[in-house]
A and B are shown apart, each in its own frame.
Chain A
Amino acid sequence: MRLLFISGLLAAFWLLLSGHYVPLILALGAVSVVLVTWFVNRMDKVDGEPLSMRLGFGLVGYLAWLMWQVVLSNVTLARRIWDPRLPIRPTWQRLDTSVSTPLEKTLYANSITLTPGTLTTDVKRDHFMIHSLSPEGMEDLRQGEMEGRIRRLRI
């Protein structure tokens, strides 16, 4: 069932990207879809942790919120860059976190890095190492709004 879903997704992706609908190209596409589906199947066996397909509305809502955060922090950082005094006070500190599952950790660490001004430099079992351009960025993370939103996704 999951493999069927993946091959359907891959086929749609191929058709959209190619734009040529002649037999030869379609046949090549079919071969690619079958090969990639096979690879994915094998990788899941090695990985031991197949990605669940629960892409709910929660994730879409979270991504929308994340995009807005990215815009806000970009504006802040652009202001700092254009300021003649260059008002940055970089810090490099540990951030204790309670996210536990690998998927949550990945999403959290990537979200932190995606917002300019904060950068995940290392991921450990119960804490991240964060480089922040200003102590305020660090404080915002400690407030835990982003973490709370990720935990509410229950992925």
Chain B
Amino acid sequence: MSVVIQWVSDILLLAGGLLCVTGGIGLIRMPDFFSRVHAAGVTETLAAPLLLVGLMLQLEWSLDMFKALMVLVFILATNPTASHAMAKAALHGGLRPWQADQDKTAGGAPSSNS
């Protein structure tokens, strides 16, 4: 493996690890369930691709690299569906998002923008 690829891989792995922890911190710090979904999204939409691409660079051209790509595509394709399923289930379960500006009621007057 060339030195340059090793460097790029290291940088990606480091950035991915940092973002992963960021998402974890967000999961703890965020005030309500719906904002926690966003925090969990950080680890799945950017940290996971960074870590897996970093891994793919270390694997070089092989079947394993293709499989790592499949894992990545699968995570990216399913993450929105899972998030949406969770948010919708919480709404149906009677959980309502905490809002900073309570005067703007959700689903009330249609927006001025068409």
Contacts and interface: CB of A to CB of B under 8 A. Distances in A.
Do A and B come from the same complex? yes
A133 B38 contact: yes
Interface string B66-90: 1100100000100111011001100
A41 interface: no
B80 to A, nearest CB: 4
B8 interface: no
Contact of B63 (A19, A81, A91, A135): A19
A78 B42 contact: yes
B100 A90 contact: yes
Say what secondary structure dominates the interface of chain B.
helix
A110 B113 CA distance: 22
A120 B29 CA distance: 22
Given A70-B45, A92-B106, A94-B110, A117 B22 contact: no
Name the interface size band of chain B: 35 or more
Contacts of B107: 93-94, 129
Contact of A77 (B38, B63, B87): B38
B105 to A, nearest CB: 9
13 contacts: A71-B46, A78-B22, A81-B25, A81-B42, A82-B25, A90-B34, A90-B99, A109-B80, A117-B38, A121-B87, A129-B106, A131-B37, A133-B35
